[in-house]
Amino acid sequence: MYNLNRHTRGTRAGPESERKGAKKGMKDFSGYMKQGRRGHLIGVGGVSMSPLAEVLTGMGLVIRGSDMRDGENVARLRDRGIEVRIGHRAENITSDLDFVVRTAAVHDDNPEVAAAHSLGIPVFERTEAWGAIMRDYPRSVCISGTHGKTTTTSMLTHILMAAELDPTVMIGGTLPLLHAGHRVGKGDTIVLEACEYCNSFLNFYPTIAVILDIEADHLDFFKDLEDIQRSFRQFASQVPPDGTLVVNLEDKATMEAVAGLDRKLLTFGLTDRADVYAENIRSLGTQTEFDILYRGELFVRAAIHVPGIHNVKNALAACAAAICLGCNPLAVKYGLAGFTGAGRRFEFKGKYNGADVYDDYAHHPGELAALLDAVSGLGYKRIVTVFQPHTYSRTKALFADFVEQLRRPDMTILAEIYVARETNTVGISSRDIAAEIPNSLYFDSFEEILKTLRLAAAPGDLILTVGAGDIYKVGEALVAGEK
Residue at 417: amino acid letter: I
CA 99/CA 63 separation, integer angstroms: 10
Instruction: Give the orientation angle of helix 49-58 with respect to helix 126-134, to 10 degrees.
Output: 50
CA 172/CA 152 separation, integer angstroms: 11
CA 427/CA 219 separation, integer angstroms: 16
What backbone torsions phi and psi does residue 457 show, to the nearest 5 degrees? -60, 135
CA 229/CA 254 separation, integer angstroms: 7
CA 130/CA 184 separation, integer angstroms: 13
Q: Length of the chain, please? A: 483
Question: Assign residue 207 a region: left if phi > 0, alpha if psi is -120 to 50, beta otherwise?
Answer: alpha
- Angle among Cα 264, 313, 202 to the nearest 5 degrees reads 50
The percent helix, strand, coil of the chain (3-state, each to 5) is 35, 25, 40
Contact 369, 406 (CB under 8 A): no
In the 8-state DSSP scheme, what is residue 426?
S
Contact 185, 168 (CB under 8 A): yes
Q: Which secondary-structure segment (H or E) carries 173?
A: strand 168-175
Question: Hey, CA dihedral for 244, 250, 254, 258, is it positive or negative?
Answer: positive
Residues known to be catalytic: 149-150, 193
Q: Which secondary-structure segment (H or E) carries 403?
A: helix 399-406
Contact 229, 145 (CB under 8 A): no
- Angle among Cα 115, 116, 119 to the nearest 5 degrees reads 90
CA 481/CA 390 separation, integer angstroms: 26
Query: What contacts 8, CB < 8 A, 6 or more positions away?
Result: none
Contact 384, 461 (CB under 8 A): yes
CA 328/CA 124 separation, integer angstroms: 39
Residues facing 100 on adjacent strands: 40, 123
